[in-house]
Amino acid sequence: MNRRELLLGGASAMSFAAAAGFAGAVQAQAAREVVIGVIYPMSGASAQVGIDARHAFETALDIVNNDHALDLIGARGAGLSALGGAKLRLVFADHQADPQKGRAEAERLITQEKVSAIIGCYQSSVSATVSAVTERYGVPFLCADSSSPSLQRRGMKFFFRPAAQDEMFSAAMFDFFDAQKAKGKKIDTVALFFEDTIFGVDSSNVQRKLATERGYKIAADVKYRTNSPSLTAEVQQLKSADPDVLMPSSYTTDAMLLVKTTAELGYKPKNLVAQASGFSEQVTYDAVGDKLRGAITRASFSLDLAAKRPFITTVNDMFKARSTRDFNDNSSRQFMGLLLLAEAINRAGTTDGAKVRDALAATDIPGTSTIMPWARVRYGADGQNPDASPVLLQYVDGKFVTIFPTDVAIAGAIWPMNG
Amino acid sequence: MTAQALAQVLASGLLMGLIYALIAVGLSLIFGLMDVVNFAHGEFLMTAMYVAFGLVFLTSLDPVLLMPIVVAVLFGVGAVVYLGVVRFAMRAKANQGMVQIFATFGLATLLQGAAQYFLTPDYRSIGNSWLGGKTLELGGVFLPLPQIFGGLVSIAAFGGLYLLMSRTDFGKALEATREDQGAVALVGIDRNRVFTLGWGLGAALVGLAGAVLAIFYYIHPQVGATFGLIAYVTVALGGFGSVFGALVAGIIVGFVEALTAAILPPAMKSLGIYMLYLGVVFVRPSGLFGKL
């Protein structure tokens, strides 16, 4: 071995040692943080939803990682106390509303980023593929905001959904119709208008079943292609049917186009009761709000609940400082989803998938320590929270007012909506 | 379906079809000129819509008055894209076709990404047009004024394009370059200049479509994708390179789409267009008026 070889060998040995030391440092760091994967549409037609979601998750991150004097779960104390004050770290991934991209990103987050849990995914079609991956790897999946009922019916052990799903939301809509009818208001016919992925199809299936069971006639049943350049022929069908209630299940682009087209074709729906989604996005109201006076949407959240729980104003302000908008139906569920996940990980005292899963399954939190109108948070054997009480909001004078159920209502419904 | 509903569907199909034709014609023109398929065509449309939105935002003038500026800006964008991207892609020694595809496809991704980054993925719409929200009713058939205006602009643009191609030296140079790129160089026509102007013209036409569309459609970084695919189908149906073909095919696509949505479940509204497209590909691969 000459001097040159010795030098080289020495250098490589030193760099190896340095690398090992670095790896040790990384591990020490890793013990003090819990990594959560977040899969949302960050580009594509729903990109704004993903960007708002990011702000919601970062607000929740702030709540968990820092000490806040609020009566909200995860607020008191900095970090996860049972894990030595470990901080949460989020890794964001973009699924572009494409179920296959969502699946690939879930694989990557689990195998490369070693995340302890995944939260997602807005579009039900993506949540379906992502939860199949998490199930296979034994990693908990917290479904923050997808509402398709079929998601919980696949016998999954690692799937948890704290918010209501479309059966519960739709049941609330028909309960509301029944209540209006009992007051002597006219509601005989409904029209279903829904987009052609899992969200729209599942939503319409539930609504069709409920309408038939409760004696409402379905005047039109229109399944449309999502992100179409025009909805004229579709709206023409709705106009010909002229139902007492138009019930759309649409994402933002289609919601805006639907409302524009109804106005262009001289069709004024007597009443509109929406399955949230595009109808809970502020941009829809910024663009076509003048044509949506009196429109009703289902929701998981309403800012007027802040009258009863003042901390809602505090966290809404924190969110608003990042995103320049108020919490809405989607961002409130995303925010709450991460807090609930962190609470379960803390209770498990470990990031082991099976143990976090068991902690999630054992969740039992009163609704009053959340920002939602939910009665409780607990999960059934299917991972669904049965106590996530939905509400109906009506768009009046440029803002939403809770109108149903009556025990949380701030005002009575204006029915018909133009009346 | 009642006769009135049918008339409504056909009228809406015609108005939408004229706009499809206007969106598609620039794509067809560029292909006819130099055999390059511009995969960023939909993003040119999106750019035009944002330019229109930006101008309205800055000046508070009616978007109709600002249309010439949108067209001029897009003319510049087209020329710059040719000089800055396509010209180099065409010099590739190997796999020239693929290089062109990747160059324009890459440009599309870049434009989408830039729009999302700088302009945010929020939906925008122009609310201050005199035409906005107005609808004409003819015997129970509703015709929105912005769409009628769009149809008229489209017809005028095709008329102007016909005159430009048949009556001016530039049009003749364009036609000659389409016929034989080598021969025009021999008679002293600057091929590069014709290509630059051709790209400018193609982009200006889609710019006009974008300026019209911005009055009644929402504006979003992905909006090009919604219309881009239809533009490709329209051009293939009409015949690559044929201006007249783009007009006829655009109207056919508009009709077929509207009728399919009215007869079949609307979720299958694209089925009619693609069936038609497949039929053309099998029976007449050059399209209705193409010379391929």
pLDDT in tens, A316-348: 999 999 999 999 999 999 999 999 999 999 999
Question: Which of B9, B14, B111, B122 to probe by mutation at the A interface, max A CB count within 10 Å?
Answer: B122
Interface test with B, best of A230, A260, A262 (most B CBs within 10 A): A230
- Bridge partners of B135, per DSSP, are B144
Q: Which residue of A has its CA nearest to B145?
A: A264
Q: What is the mean pLDDT of residues A257-265?
A: 94
From B38, B19, B1, select the one nearest B202 (Cα to Cα).
Answer: B38
- Phi-psi label, residue A234: left if phi above 0, alpha if psi -120 to 50, beta otherwise: alpha
Is A225 in contact with B121 (Cβ distance < 8 A)?
no
| Residue A404 host element (H or E) | strand A399-404
Distance in Å, alpha carbon of B27 to nearest chain A alpha carbon:
18
**In sequence order, which residues have a C-beta less than 8 Å from that of residue B18 and are 6 or more positions away?**
B150, B151, B154, B155, B250, B251, B254
Q: Which of B6, B8, B49 best probes binding to A when mutated, by most A CB atoms within 10 angstroms?
A: B8
- Nearest to residue A272, comparing CAs of A252, A253, A290, A292? A292
B contacts of A282 (beta carbons < 8 Å): none
Average pLDDT over residues A290-297: 94
For residue range A227-257, what is the model confidence (pLDDT) as tens digits? 889 999 999 999 999 999 999 999 999 999 9
Structure tokens at A92: 């964001």
Name residues whose C-beta falls within 8 Å of residue A66's C-beta, 6 or more positions apart in sequence.
A78
Using the predicted structure, report yes or no on whether residue A8 has a pLDDT greater than 60. Answer: no
Q: List the structure tokens of A81.
A: 């106390």
Mean pLDDT of A78-102: 95
Query: Are B257 and A230 an interchain contact pair (Cβ–Cβ within 8 Å)?
Result: yes
Residue A27 pLDDT: 46
- Residue given tokens 């109906």 in the structure block: A392
* CA–CA distance, B287 with B235 (Å, rounded to integer): 8
The nearest CA of chain B is from the CA of A48 a distance in Å of: 5
Count A/B contacts: CB-CB distance under 8 Å. Answer: 106
A265–B8 CB contact, under 8 Å: yes
DSSP A396: E
What pLDDT score was predicted for residue A21?
Answer: 46
Q: How many CA atoms lie within 13 A of B48 on its CB side?
A: 34
Does the pLDDT value for residue A356 go beyond 90? yes
Write the residue in A45, A236, A252 that is nearest to B9 by C-beta: A236
Sort out which chain A residues have CB atoms less than 8 A from B13's CB and list them. Answer: 232
Q: Please tell me the predicted confidence (pLDDT) of residue A259.
A: 96
Angle at B228 between CA B226 and CA B232, to 5 degrees: 135
Distance linking the first and last C-alpha atoms of chain A: 95
* Residue A29 pLDDT class (50, 70, 90 cuts): very low
| Torsional sign, CA B265, B267, B273, B278 | negative
Per-residue pLDDT tens digits for B211-241: 999 999 999 999 999 899 899 999 999 998 8
Share of chain A above pLDDT 90, in %: 82
* pLDDT exceeds cutoff 90 at A16: no
State the pLDDT at residue A406: 86
Q: What share of chain A is helix, strand, coil (3-state, %, to 5)?
A: 50, 15, 35
Asked if B239 contacts B53 with a C-beta cutoff of 8 angstroms, the reply is no
Please report the ipTM that was assigned to this predicted complex. Answer: 0.90
- Mean pLDDT of the region A371-388: 95
**pLDDT surpasses 90 at A183:** yes
CB A285 within 8 A of CB A395: yes
Which DSSP category does A369 fall into?
G
Q: How confident is the model at residue B44 (pLDDT cuts 50, 70, 90)?
A: very high
Residues 6+ apart with CB under 8 A from A204: A192, A194, A221, A223, A249
Contact B230 A229 (CB under 8 A): yes
Please, what is the angle between helix B223-238 and helix B3-34, to 10°?
A: 80
Q: How far apart are CA A351 and CA A139, in angstroms?
A: 10
Task: Return mean pLDDT, chain B.
Answer: 92
**In the block, residue with structure tokens 């009628």:** B148
Tell me which chain B residue has its CA closest to the CA of residue A47. Answer: B121
- Give the per-residue pLDDT at A308: 85
* pLDDT band with cut points at 50, 70 and 90 for residue A9: low
Of A47, A229, A288, the CB nearest to B116: A47
Instruction: Tell me the shortest Cα–Cα distance from A222 to chain B, in angstroms.
Output: 7
Q: How many Cβ atoms sit within 10 Å of the Cβ of residue B278?
A: 10
Check residue A20 and give its pLDDT. 47
Question: Where is average pLDDT lowest: A325-334, A407-416, B155-164?
Answer: A407-416
> Which residues fall within 8 angstroms of residue B263, CB to CB, at 6 or more apart?
none
Contact B266 A234 (CB under 8 A): yes
> Would you state the pLDDT for residue B94?
85
Which strands form A217-224's sheet, in the order they lie side by side?
Answer: A217-224, A189-195, A245-249
In B, what residues contact A, Cβ < 8 A? Answer: 2, 5, 8-9, 12-13, 16, 112-113, 116, 120-125, 127, 133, 135, 137, 142, 144, 147, 216-218, 220-222, 226-227, 230, 257-259, 261-262, 265-270
* Amino acid making up residue B236: A
Please tell me the least confidently modeled range out of A30-34, A397-401, B146-150, B280-284.
A30-34
pLDDT at residue B267 in the model: 87
pTM: 0.87
Q: What is the pLDDT of residue B2?
A: 83
Contacts with A200 from chain B: Cβ below 8 Å? none
Instruction: Give bridge partners of residue A393 from the DSSP assignment.
Output: A297, A402
Mean pLDDT of all residues belonging to chain A: 91
Give me the mean pLDDT over the B159-164 stretch.
94
Among the partner-chain residues A48, A229, A263, the one whose CB lies closest to the CB of B133 is: A263
Tell me whether residues A225 and B267 touch, CB distance under 8 A.
Answer: yes
| Nearest-CA distance B209 → chain A (Å) | 14
- The number of residues making up chain B comes to 292
- In B, which residues are within 8 Å of A44 by CB distance? 222
pLDDT tens by residue, B53-104 = 999 999 999 999 999 999 999 999 999 999 999 999 988 888 888 899 999 9
* pLDDT of A135 strictly over 50: yes
* CA A151 to chain CA mean position, Å: 13
Q: Identify the pLDDT of residue A114.
A: 96
Q: B194: distance to nearest CA of chain A, Å?
A: 33
Task: Find the closest chain A residue to B20 by CA distance.
Answer: A229
Phi–psi pair at A349, nearest 5 degrees: 70, 15
Residues of A in contact with B42 (CB under 8 A): none
Mean pLDDT of A390-411: 90
Query: Would you call B267 and A264 a contact, using CB atoms and an 8 Å cutoff?
Result: no
